[in-house]
């Protein structure tokens, strides 16, 4: 290796890399801010313009777009040597480039004319050229690869496997970069772009999909998708789905909260004076379903909680942190996965359908709670309605939630009609000796008839929350007033298919 070209926006680690090159008598070509940074550090570098004998121009837009640069990157050793020599093209053995920060700047609401200047042209062109010729050129696009590169430089060169991996990573980077530009330009003055392009890294194969005969993988570097279990078996496809469901609800609850999920539906949700109390209350809503469930907690796990968790079978426990003593105690549950609750990662919801995808996003919205019944809910009922309404948002339709102000009491989900969900919740609660007396009820969509209300009232519910908007709202409201039920409309529906 005799020559490297360094041209980076993010200068993290670039000086260490350059010093390793100098130590091995590898010449450095550079330009602009990178060349300035190298010289200020006392590292010799030749300007690209000096090498090409062609000045930078157009405010730096044209500097590396030259045959002596691209010929040095694309020239095949042993094939193109004569033509390179004839045109005074030196082979470039290492290319280190990272790109103008278009993704970051596109989030700052800049005028298009200003944002356009953050679209890198020379960088992607050089990266693609070097990557195409990966057998002869090592291409670095990520500072996290510099330590490996420095070691390779010290020991005499990159292996073929390393160069192929770096080239693959480089093409992946330019693909993501072009996708960001495409999505932005396609989405100007539109809620959604005409062409929707995505890229997720960190792909890991899973044991199987929803069922053993199906194949699956997970992709992502942050949020739930990026989590690696602290202990236990490898996460499964269904584990990831259920953890996402549990965490999404848990993040919206106040104080000490526990959400227990089974098959993508909440089966127990509770608030408590402490985390242990909230867990026990949530588990006891439906202890049968809680067996083999996913548990999300809003605050750290200590030994008292660990002891209670270890008394049953939990597939996954996710919480902000675990004490050392709790970790040690839960090691005896060697198959139980422990995950750290990560910060939320707002993103579009994407589902595949035959021939394409559906994309959904939830912008900031305001609910307009209105008491529509003659009787207003009591303060305790209001608190219970708040909890029930949060839970019903994350339950599969048609969803009916019975709750008091600290816990769900009955959960009915996934039925083809709403009244069956109301009856199912009562039936499930009765199996564990729980009564609906004094509970409130939440419905994820409006009540088309008064039958659901009548079932809930007969079971002892005293207040109901729903979006409203049915052509029979007046009929349902009249029944609520007749039964003495307080009813609140929110104006927002929470279907979850």
In three-state form (DSSP H/G/I as H, E/B as E, the rest C), the secondary structure along 410-459 is EEECCCCCHHHHHHHHHHHHHHCCCCCCCCEEEECCCCCCCHHHHHHHHH
- Asked if 48 contacts 32 with a C-beta cutoff of 8 angstroms, the reply is no
- In whole angstroms, how far apart are CA 460 and each of 50, 149, 390, 484? 86, 70, 21, 11
- At 396, give phi and psi (nearest 5°): -70, 140
Q: What angle do CA 173, 175, 179 make, to 5 degrees?
A: 115
CB distance 173 to 101 below 8 Å: no
- Record the tokens describing residue 102, joined without a space: 């278009």
Which residues, 6 or more positions from 466, have their beta carbon under 8 angstroms from its beta carbon?
442, 443, 445, 446, 447, 487, 488, 489, 490
Tell me the C-alpha distance between 62 and 83, whole Å.
24
Pairwise CA distance, residues 190 & 184, whole Å: 10
Report the candidate in 199, 203, 230 with the shortest Cα–Cα distance to residue 341: 230
Q: Which of 24, 263, 331, 405 is catalytic?
A: 263
370 is catalytic: no
Catalytic choice (24, 132, 244, 405): 132
Active site residue 132: yes
Contact, 408 vs 270, CB < 8 A? Answer: yes
Give start and end residues of each alpha helix (H) in 66-186: 67-74, 81-86, 102-105, 112-115, 122-132, 146-154, 160-186
- Residue 417 has phi, psi (to 5 degrees) of -140, 155
Task: Give me Rg for the CA atoms of the chain.
Answer: 30
Burial of 375: CB neighbours in 10 Å, binned 0-12, 13-18, 19+: middle
C-alpha separations of 287 from 16, 295, 321, 462 in Å = 58, 12, 25, 25
Contacts of 371 (CB under 8 A, 6+ apart): 377, 486, 487, 488
**Is residue 462 within 8 Å of residue 488, measured between CB atoms?**
no
Which residues lie across from 256 on neighbouring strands?
Answer: 272
Residue that has been written with the tokens 């996965």 in this structure:
337
Q: Which of 92, 47, 48, 94 is nearest to 72 (CA)?
A: 92
Q: Distance between terminal CA atoms of the chain?
A: 58
Tokens of 14: 């670039």
Taking the C-alpha atoms of residue 371 and residue 277, their distance in angstroms, rounded to an integer, is: 32
Name the 3-class secondary structure at 304.
Answer: helix
Residues with active-site annotation: 132, 263
């Amino acid at each position: 290796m005799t020559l490297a070209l360094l041209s980076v926006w993010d200068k993290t680690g670039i000086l260490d890399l350059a010093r390793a090159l100098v130590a091995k008598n590898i010449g450095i070509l550079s330009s602009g801010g990178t060349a300035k940074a190298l010289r200020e550090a006392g590292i010799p570098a030749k300007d690209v313009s000096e090498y090409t004998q062609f000045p930078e121009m157009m405010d730096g837009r044209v500097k590396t777009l030259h045959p002596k640069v691209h010929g040095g990157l694309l020239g095949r050793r042993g094939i193109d040597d004569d033509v390179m020599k004839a045109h005074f093209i030196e082979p470039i053995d290492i290319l280190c480039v990272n790109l103008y920060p278009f993704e970051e700047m596109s989030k700052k609401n800049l005028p298009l004319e200003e944002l356009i200047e953050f679209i890198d042209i020379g960088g992607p062109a050089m990266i693609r050229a070097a990557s195409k010729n990966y057998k002869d050129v090592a291409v670095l696009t990520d500072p996290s690869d510099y330590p490996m590169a420095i070691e390779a430089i010290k020991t005499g060169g990159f292996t073929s496997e390393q160069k192929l991996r770096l080239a693959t990573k480089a093409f992946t980077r330019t693909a993501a970069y072009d996708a960001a530009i495409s999505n932005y330009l396609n989405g100007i003055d539109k809620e959604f772009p005409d062409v929707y392009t995505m890229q997720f890294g960190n792909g890991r194969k899973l044991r199987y999909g929803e069922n053993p005969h199906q194949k699956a993988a997970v992709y992502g570097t942050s949020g739930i998708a990026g989590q690696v279990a602290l202990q236990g078996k490898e996460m499964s496809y269904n584990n990831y789905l259920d953890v996402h469901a549990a965490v999404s609800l848990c993040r919206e609850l106040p104080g000490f909260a526990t959400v227990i999920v089974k098959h993508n539906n909440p089966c127990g949700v509770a608030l408590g004076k402490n985390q242990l109390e909230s867990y026990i209350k949530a588990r006891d809503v439906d202890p049968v379903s809680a067996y083999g469930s996913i548990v999300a907690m809003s605050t750290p796990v200590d030994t008292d909680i660990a002891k209670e968790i270890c008394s049953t079978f939990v597939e996954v426990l996710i919480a902000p942190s675990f004490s050392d003593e709790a970790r040690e105690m839960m090691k005896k549950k060697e198959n139980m996965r422990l995950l750290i609750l990560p910060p939320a990662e707002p993103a579009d919801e994407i589902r595949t359908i035959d021939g394409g995808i559906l994309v959904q996003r939830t912008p900031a919205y305001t609910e307009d709670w209105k008491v529509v019944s003659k009787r207003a809910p009591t303060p305790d009922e209001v608190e219970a309605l708040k909890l029930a309404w949060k839970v019903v948002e994350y339950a599969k339709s048609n969803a009916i939630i019975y709750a008091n102000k600290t816990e769900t009491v009955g959960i009915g989900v996934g039925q083809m009609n709403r009244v069956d969900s109301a009856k199912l919740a009562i039936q499930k609660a009765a199996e564990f000796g729980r009564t609906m007396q004094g509970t409130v009820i939440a419905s994820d969509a409006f009540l088309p008839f008064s039958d659901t209300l009548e079932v809930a009232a007969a079971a002892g519910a005293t207040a109901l929350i729903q979006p409203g908007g049915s052509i029979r709202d007046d009929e349902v409201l009249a029944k609520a007033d007749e039964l003495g039920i307080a009813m609140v409309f929110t104006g927002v529906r929470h279907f979850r298919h």
